[in-house]
Amino acid sequence: MRQVIIAGNWKMNASKEVTNILVMDILSGMVNVKSKVIVCVPFPYMAQVEALVGCSQLNLGAQDLNINKSGAFTGEVSVDMIKDFGARYVIVGHSERRSLYFENNEIVAQKVQVALNNNLTPLLCIGELLEERNSGKTQEVVSEQIQTVIDLVGIDAFKDIIVAYEPVWAIGTGITATPKQAQDIHSFIRSILAKHDENVSKITPILYGGSMNPRNASELINCKDIDGGLIGGASLKAQDFLQICKAS
């Protein structure tokens, strides 16, 4: 059975003070949480969160990585730097990076490969735009996004990848995919993996992201192929985040 995973994506939010309060509040509410819980925080706060989480069950992640080892890449952050702060997870291919920073499927696949080669677990984000859904292209888009990664890293690598299906029209809009809409695509994603390797498809976690909140989390997470959530806005409120962590 796949473990439920709840990951918070703070995006470009928080401050030193907010980080302190948020992480302390999450930690103090984590008794009885059975899910794996990850917080993907902005780079400047990683050292602070590393110190706060200590050996607790709260895991630290980053929100992006650069594919190069080191060198003249002003403003960028390498996997070694991410690992230096005890992080074991990294978000790759978030729709905001795809749309605002022009990351295409090939770049995303390379980032997944670099993360895996360096023992970081990638949270690989995929998902369609509203116009793609409206023109019946959801499956085509999602399957291209995932296939590019399979082509580069191989299906076996999906034993160490967390997939996050985030329909772009649901991100930050308050419009959540219905459990049926989400489950349909999750099951489709699993079927793509199964075409390559049935066993791998059964163990790869597939999270849902896009306006997940304490009110809709339980119904979504209880769907057969939904193994947890990647949470934006609601991960910035400790009580909401904790409620989602306990929703499964």
Residue list, annotated binding site for substrate: 9-11, 172, 211, 232-233
The CB-nearest residue to ligand 13P is 232
Among 76, 94, 140, 186, which one carries the catalytic annotation? 94
148-167: which residues touch ligand 13P (CB under 6 A)?
166
For residue 205, the SS3 value is coil
Q: Are strands 58-62 and 36-40 parallel, antiparallel or unpaired?
A: parallel
Amino acid at 64: D
Q: Pull the structure tokens for residue 217.
A: 């989390």
Give the dihedral sign, CA 1/31/91/142.
Answer: positive
Interaction of residue 61 with ligand 13P, rule CB under 6 A: no
Contacts of 31 (CB under 8 A, 6+ apart): none
122-141: which residues touch ligand 13P (CB under 6 A)?
none
* Residue listed under structure tokens 């899910």: 35
| Residue 187, burial from CB neighbour count under 10 angstroms (0-12, 13-18, 19+) | middle
Q: Which region, judged by CB under 6 A, interacts with ligand 13P, from 44-52, 104-112, 150-158, 225-233?
A: 225-233
Interaction of residue 179 with ligand 13P, rule CB under 6 A: no
Q: Which of 200, 207, 212, 226 binds ligand 13P (CB under 6 A)?
A: 212
Q: Which is nearer to ligand 13P, 186 or 200 (CB)?
A: 186
Contacts of 100 (CB under 8 A, 6+ apart): none
Residue 94 appears among annotated catalytic residues: yes
Residue 128 appears among annotated catalytic residues: no
Known catalytic residues are 94, 166
Binding residues for ligand 13P, rule: CB under 6 A, are: 9, 94, 166, 171-172, 209-212, 230-234
